[in-house]
Amino acid sequence: MESIIERTWHARYFSAALFAAGLRHKVQAAAVRSIFTSMVELSDNGDLMRRFVSLSCLRMFMYGEQNEGLSYLPKFRKNGVSMAKARVLDDRPATTHWTHARELQTTYPKIEVEEDRLFIVHSACAIR
């Protein structure tokens, strides 16, 4: 459990440290290995992916910027699954630390950056 907390704490994802801080209180350590092992196995090698890519209907997989490195994305692309990159804050107000406001606005011009606000109550996401 400690190694998972440590690895999560230093991950590049926006809210990783906050997530890591609460892991001891939210996760039963005895269950972690079997759950993670089965998730990875089903995602990477299991029948789950084959079933998804072989569906006869139109298929789309939406993923966030932080998940661009998922091991199964190339398999989805190869099998004709439409890929959609989620832009969860497009056309929504957002705020960040003032030192990152200009970078946020430049990198994601569709976000309505409100650099003088401390909180955005109706926005469900936080950046940095």
pLDDT per residue over 77-119, tens digit each? 999 888 877 777 788 888 888 888 888 888 889 888 888 887 7
102 and 92 in one domain?
yes
24 and 59 in one domain?
yes
What's the domain range around 99?
Answer: 87-128
45 and 64 in one domain?
yes
**Residue 128 pLDDT greater than 70, yes or no:** no
92 and 77 in one domain?
no
**By CB neighbour count within 10 A (0-12 exposed, 13-18 middle, 19+ buried), where does 95 fall?**
buried
Q: Which residue has the higher pLDDT, 121 or 6?
A: 6
- Work out how many domains the chain is built from and give that number: 2
67 and 96 in one domain?
no
> How much is the average pLDDT of 35-51?
77
In this structure, what token pair is assigned to residue 59?
Answer: 């298929």
* CA dist., res. 33 & res. 21, Å (int): 19
23 and 46 in one domain?
yes
107 and 79 in one domain?
no
76 and 21 in one domain?
yes
Contact between 49 and 43 (Cβ < 8 Å)? yes
